[in-house]
Every structure is written in structure tokens, then in C-alpha cells.
């Protein structure tokens, strides 16, 4: 089992998606991009510019989804990554994505999340009592669903690793990759 799901939709943050995508490849894993439909998706770039109190957004690269949520058999995957950007705000309501998300939490497989990605496990009812990092504007989503907000670049809670924004990739992706290596080693 060498396959890892990366969850995206239109308006997924470019750096949040591509950094783990290429790290997975570098680590010898198969990065499988999953989305509402198997098609091309438009990613975005997010930045809070100096003097701004809100996030500026502009077009990033596009990316092809390898598989639609409805076709995912989560038992065939080692891990899942919830990318950030605005996509989680609307894809979290997809019943198949909820099914997939719950599988990874219930099976105690390695899970990583960044930025708005937290909104998916929140909606799926998987964060009760779990410590997670997320972008501060998603703190309410996490806490109202029973999670514990931690404002740090890397939060590890059992099988769950999270970061706040793409600025934290250098802090939380490494520990997640280590979890993946350990999980893969137990399967061989």
C-alpha cells in the first residue's frame, strides 16, 4: 500500500497542494488527487498582504484530479491529506468525501491537514477532542465541532498532523512523511 490521497476542489491553494504532492513522489509514494469529479481543477494562491486584514486570492496553476470521491475505496490508501484554500468550504458536504474521511480516522491511518483543510474532518465529525493547527479564521469551525485549536506550525495528535498555512509546510510535512514511512514499513 503506497497510495496517498490528496483532497482538492476548485480554489484549492496551490502551494498547499503541490508541496505535499511532490514530497510524496520524492518519498516513493503515489500521490492520488481526489476531487468531486475526475477533471481539471483551478487552484488559487492566498496571501495576507502587509496592511491587509483579509486574504488576497489570485489564480494559481491547475491540476487534474485522478479520481472522483465516489470512486475512492479508502481501504486501498495508506493516508490522506486535506489541502487548504477555499475548496474545503464547499467540498466538505460531499457524502462520499465524508465517508472517505471517516475511514481514515476510524482506521487510525496517517492524516495531514493544513489551513482550511480542517473544515472537512470537522464536518465529518472526526475532530472531537483532537488537537489541530489551522489558519486562525478556521478556529471557530474546529472548536464548535469539539476540536482544540493550537496556534503552532506543527501539531501532532496521534495519527493526525496539521499546520496552519503553507508557511508551515517545512514544519509539519516532515513528521507526516515519517509517519507514512513507518506505516508503509508495517505493511511489508
CA–CA gap between residue 119 and residue 145 (Å, rounded): 10
| Catalytic choice (46, 103, 116, 171) | 116
Q: Give the alpha-carbon dihedral of 116, 83, 171, 51, to 10 degrees.
A: -50
Which residues pair with residue 64 across a beta bridge? 40
3-class state of residue 20 by DSSP: helix
Q: If residue 181 lies in a helix (H) or strand (E), which one and from where to where?
A: helix 169-187
Taking a C-beta distance cutoff of 8 angstroms, is the pair 38, 8 a contact? no
CA–CA gap between residue 101 and residue 34 (Å, rounded): 12
Cell, residue 26: 520524492
Taking a C-beta distance cutoff of 8 angstroms, is the pair 78, 109 a contact? yes
Taking a C-beta distance cutoff of 8 angstroms, is the pair 85, 46 a contact? yes
Active site residue 103: no
CA angle 139, 133, 96 (to 5 degrees): 80
Please identify every residue annotated as catalytic: 116
Amino acid at each position: 500500500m503506497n497510495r496517498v490521497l490528496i483532497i482538492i476542489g476548485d480554489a484549492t491553494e496551490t502551494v498547499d497542494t503541490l508541496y505535499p504532492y511532490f514530497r510524496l513522489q520524492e518519498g516513493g509514494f503515489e500521490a492520488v488527487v481526489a476531487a468531486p469529479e475526475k477533471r481539471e481543477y483551478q487552484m488559487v494562491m492566498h496571501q495576507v498582504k502587509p496592511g491587509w486584514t483579509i486574504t488576497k486570492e489570485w489564480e494559481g496553476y491547475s491540476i487534474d484530479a485522478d479520481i472522483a470521491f465516489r470512486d475512492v475505496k479508502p481501504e486501498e490508501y495508506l493516508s490522506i491529506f486535506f489541502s487548504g484554500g477555499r475548496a474545503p468550504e464547499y467540498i466538505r458536504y460531499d457524502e462520499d468525501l465524508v465517508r472517505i474521511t471517516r475511514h481514515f480516522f476510524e482506521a487510525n491511518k496517517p492524516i495531514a491537514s493544513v489551513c482550511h483543510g480542517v473544515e472537512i474532518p470537522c464536518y465529518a465529525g472526526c475532530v472531537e477532542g483532537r488537537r489541530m493547527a489551522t489558519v486562525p479564521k478556521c478556529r471557530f469551525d474546529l472548536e464548535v465541532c469539539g476540536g482544540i485549536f493550537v496556534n503552532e506550525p506543527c501539531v501532532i495528535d496521534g495519527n493526525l498532523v496539521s499546520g496552519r498555512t503553507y508557511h508551515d509546510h517545512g514544519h509539519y510535512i516532515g513528521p507526516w512523511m515519517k509517519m507514512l514511512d513507518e506505516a508503509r514499513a508495517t505493511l511489508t
